[in-house]
Structure 1
Amino acid sequence: MARLVSELDIQQFAMDGVVCLRGVFSQHWVDLVRRGIDANMAAPSPFGESLKDNENEGAYFDDYCNWEKIPEFKNFIMESPAAEIAGRLMESQEAAIYHEHVLNKEPGTAKRTPWHHDQSYYPIDGSKVCSIWMPVDPVPLETAISFVRGSHLWNAWFYPRKFATEQRYPLSDGSGAVHRRYEDVPSDEIDSGQHELLAWPMEPGDCIVFHMKTVHGAPGNASQSSHRRVLSTRWLGDDTVITTRPWDVSPPLLAPLRPGDRAISKYFPVIWRRTEQPEVSLKPGSHVGAMREADALHL
């Protein structure tokens, strides 16, 4: 397989916590994922939800942890370039699948995605973690996901928030140890322009890869005709371990793993393994990765 990740992409991911890759998934994978999303939405799991503030607007649908039951998702995870992209950007020897997450904002959806980072939702500690956010519909800038540049390097962990209410997750009954300090995302600072944001308009075949601690959010979908359907796959690298959180984690940890256990296991299996030493994959300027900085819209 031709190299899809350049040294520049790896460096940008490390510095910014997010990188946009153009045209890395063929039409085959886009069509396959689109069929999987449609199947998921037609028969949601118990985790599925459809959020809206009132009955006269579009719904924000999401569901997760269905990849082993939906053949299109399983095929994408096992066979597409996604695992290698994740492993190379994480600079990991292995890339294991954690779960997948379907996100669809129907036309006329007012519901926004609040500022948050993902890792505090999960019972996962470690620095080699990422998500691949892959749309199967064009995403114009006005509905694009935005990222706070470099926020994965902040010395901060943020309370997870429920998307339905934007309220903090309630503390659990004490079964989850509090072993670090959590705080609220500085949403007012972000909204007032005190932090640099990165966002990209997207086409099917593109993807955004971001660290699980990179703060991000998105507006609703004001279009009256276009969906914004996305498959986000979550990936784990070499240093990830199971941990506890002082709230009920999302998704719940159904695997019989204990705090301190290595996360990569038969429950979160390796999909890609490095067979060579890390190397510069492309000459400067020979790949769209060399255009990432110019391509990004700094908001």
Structure 2
Amino acid sequence: MSEYLTQQIVDDYRRDGAVCIRNVFNNYWIEKVIEGIERNLKNPSDYSESLSSDGQSGAFFNDYCNWRSIPEFEQYVYQSPAAQICAALMDSEYSVFYHEHVLIKEAAANQLTPWHHDQAYYPINGFKNCSIWMPLDPVPIETAVEFAAASHLDNKWYKPRKFATHLNYNINNNDVCDKIAYNDVPSDQYIRDNYKILSFDVKPGDCIAFHMRTLHGAPGNLSESTSRRVLSTRWLGDDAVIGARPWITSPPTTGGLDIGQNVIQSKEFPLIWTRSK
């Protein structure tokens, strides 16, 4: 098991689908990731979005799949503790890196992140997966991500939602579903009435690990002076295979693999850590 984990943390992750891990990343990794985010902001990709409401002073910026062109991110992927931590949480023989996602809510950005779970956005099937949500600024409980505890164990899939409009993704091919039934995400009230809601105040150095099927959402950034900068990295375990979705996936890449092939077969999804290391 990773030196950063206890059996209690592992048990909490597998039961609840989300857990906070304190003091994982030292100042070296914090500074490296901040440098990478600054580089990303100066040269955003075609996937980037900057969302704001009318009359709002701050924006919600997000961008993803830039790690190969941002050396600080690439170093983080290969050398930080993230891969080993995820392998232990997933109970996987190895960790494969899927992609990174930069999420920045500027000061006073009131843009909500709607309730959703991540795996339906991706062309990825399998249960062994983990995201590491790494804040670069203090995040008080008032602006923290909220998780519906144990929702990853419901065996339900939910239609992905657009962050800009909170509407469902458009279905392009209803015949391509891997026999998965996709539901509308329940209302905020239903989620609060039927799940224990988890949230964590975090600081730089901490991280939140969560399952890609765990329902989660977030309020706007209530701070008038501090941005909420986050690097979220997505990791896959030894049962991860390419799946089909009836909409354009985000990211829209399968690594050149066919449906049902294990992601480790593609060089686009590098093997970062194995138990034999």
Q: CA shift at 1:172, angstroms?
A: 1.0
- The 8 Å contact of residues 114 and 217 in structure 1, kept in 2 or not, is answered as yes
> Does 2:215 match 1:215?
yes
Please name the residue that 1:93 is paired with. 93
Deviations along 1:214-239, whole A, 9 cap, x unmatched? 00000000211000000000000000
Q: CA shift at 1:177, angstroms?
A: 3.5
Identity, in percent, stands at 50
Q: CA shift at 1:191, angstroms?
A: 5.7
Amino acid at match of 2:98: Y
Relative to structure 1, is the Cα distance of residues 192 and 80 closer, same or farther in structure 2, using a 3 angstrom cutoff? closer
How many pairs are equivalent? 276
Q: CA shift at 1:155, angstroms?
A: 2.2
Please name the residue that 2:123 is paired with. 123
Relative to structure 1, is the Cα distance of residues 268 and 188 closer, same or farther in structure 2, using a 3 angstrom cutoff? same
Relative to structure 1, is the Cα distance of residues 190 and 205 closer, same or farther in structure 2, using a 3 angstrom cutoff? farther
- The 8 Å contact of residues 131 and 209 in structure 2, kept in 1 or not, is answered as yes
- The 8 Å contact of residues 236 and 264 in structure 1, kept in 2 or not, is answered as no
Q: CA shift at 1:192, angstroms?
A: 4.6
Amino acid at match of 2:118: D
Amino acid at match of 1:44: P
CA distance in 2, matches of 1:177, 1:82: 31
CA distance in 2, matches of 1:128, 1:186: 24
Please name the residue that 1:291 is paired with. none
Q: CA shift at 1:207, angstroms?
A: 0.2
Q: Secondary structure of 2:263's partner?
A: coil
RMSD between superposed Cα atoms in Å: 1.6
- The 8 Å contact of residues 50 and 59 in structure 2, kept in 1 or not, is answered as yes
Deviations along 1:144-178, whole A, 9 cap, x unmatched? 00100000001210000000000000001457345
Please name the residue that 1:108 is paired with. 108
Amino acid at match of 2:82: A
Relative to structure 1, is the Cα distance of residues 141 and 49 closer, same or farther in structure 2, using a 3 angstrom cutoff? same
1:1-299 equivalence runs, <5 A: 3-173=3-173, 176-177=176-177, 179-190=179-190, 192-253=192-253, 255-265=255-265, 266-275=267-276
Q: Secondary structure of 1:272's partner?
A: strand
Please name the residue that 1:295 is paired with. none
Give the TM-score, by structure 2 length.
Answer: 0.96
Q: CA shift at 1:77, angstroms?
A: 0.6
Q: CA shift at 1:188, angstroms?
A: 3.5
CA distance in 1, matches of 2:173, 2:17: 33
